Structure 1
């Protein structure tokens, strides 16, 4: 995350390479160009300054509009945050539940696919993902409940993926809940430091974390020479 300064201007946010990711492609297709631009501007503002320190002026200036322009598309700043967080959680879950992943038969191969894709998704969208994970306190109780349901669905999908391998003997008799939590934490935590211009591509990071995940469920002695 960029080091906080007194005030990040719209130009600061647009130029900072640490705030560059694929977030502009996350927004719903039915949204027009202006609301999509506002969401992208808000992602950068929230990531740099935090939700509470960001003003509607900050968000609107990011797309060259007046402060009041945001209200034409979003009645409140909180609704902007909710749209970002909901999109982030929905898209990440959909990416690991694509038919090509669910069609993988072997438990180890499926877990590898799931971890690799989930990690790569968070790397490729690291700015929006950072907001989605660390600005939850800015949501209303109703919107937090909706996001919490998505988080529960994600956790359940990962637990089922690990439990499947435990049940068929592919994995050791691990504590599924604890191991799943560790895997999710690994894949998500990278949003604090990952940069697209770094040495490892999202897919390379995904493959590396998938290797780590498989070691967490390996039978004792499986990786010894």
Structure 2
């Protein structure tokens, strides 16, 4: 059975609404934002949201789903299992931190509006969040196994590494002193220190 693709105009309209929703949710929060705010931001009629989405919550879910899928793709692109655990950790944590700075508005919505999702949608997002943690946790575990990392609590350490990257989206602004790339490098250095990686292993 062939899949019927939506017409280009519909795809473009959905994209405009999603972009407008990101800005509105980031500025006003999900609860305060109205569908009219989203439609106005997209320069569309107030009814436009319901033409393409069932509800305001579904708009948030689509943003959250896309955002977390992008986190997983970024880990896939950054992590080279052939490298040492220290270099793998630097690459992944650095890439995630830079991403949260570069796309800080979207990332802020994706990470800080989870409680506004329906239970079903929250559960779906949690599956991906657990997968992100599992992949970073596996790198931490590999470093512990070969003696490269000095870590007492792998789970808590993994949570710390991910949390400090996520928090970049909350405070980063383009007017700040550091570029996303510099933030990524700083977080890579911090990650190596947190796990007690030897300088020779971490490439520093």
Mapped to 2, the partners of 1:63 and 1:86 lie a distance apart of 20
* Mapped contact 2:150–2:195 kept (Cα < 8 A): yes
Residue 50 of structure 2 is aligned to residue 71 of structure 1: yes
Q: Residue in 2 aligned with 1:188?
A: 166
Q: How far apart are residue 174 of structure 1 and its match? A: 2.9
| Per-residue Cα deviation, 1:181-210 (whole angstroms, up to 9, x for no partner) | 111111011111101343211111011011
What displacement does 1:83 show?
A: 0.4
Within 5 Å, which residues of 2 pair with 1:18-33? 32-33=11-12
**What is the distance in 2 between the residues matched to 1:200 and 1:47?**
22
In structure 2, C-alpha distance between the alignment counterparts of 1:177 and 1:154, rounded to whole Å: 13
Q: TM-score, normalised by structure 1?
A: 0.81
User: What are structure 2's unaligned runs of at least 5 residues?
Assistant: 1-7
Structure 1 stretch displaced more, 172-181 or 206-215: 172-181
Give the corresponding residue for 2:34.
55
1:218 aligned partner: 196
Between Structure 1 and Structure 2, which shows a larger proportion of helix residues? Answer: 2
Q: Which residue of 2 aligns with 1:19?
A: none
How many pairs does the alignment contain? 193
Contact 1:166/1:174 (<8 A) preserved: no
Alignment of 1:122-201 (within 5 A): 122-201=100-179
- Against the structure 1 CA distance between its residues 56 and 212, is the aligned structure 2 distance closer, same or farther, given a 3 Å change threshold? same
For the aligned residue pairs, the C-alpha RMSD in angstroms reads: 2.1
Query: Unaligned stretches of 5+ in structure 1?
Result: 1-28
Alpha-carbon distance in 1 for matches of 2:76, 2:173: 25
TM-score by length of 2: 0.89
- Asked if 1:35 corresponds to 2:19, the answer is no
Residue 221 of structure 1, CA deviation = 11
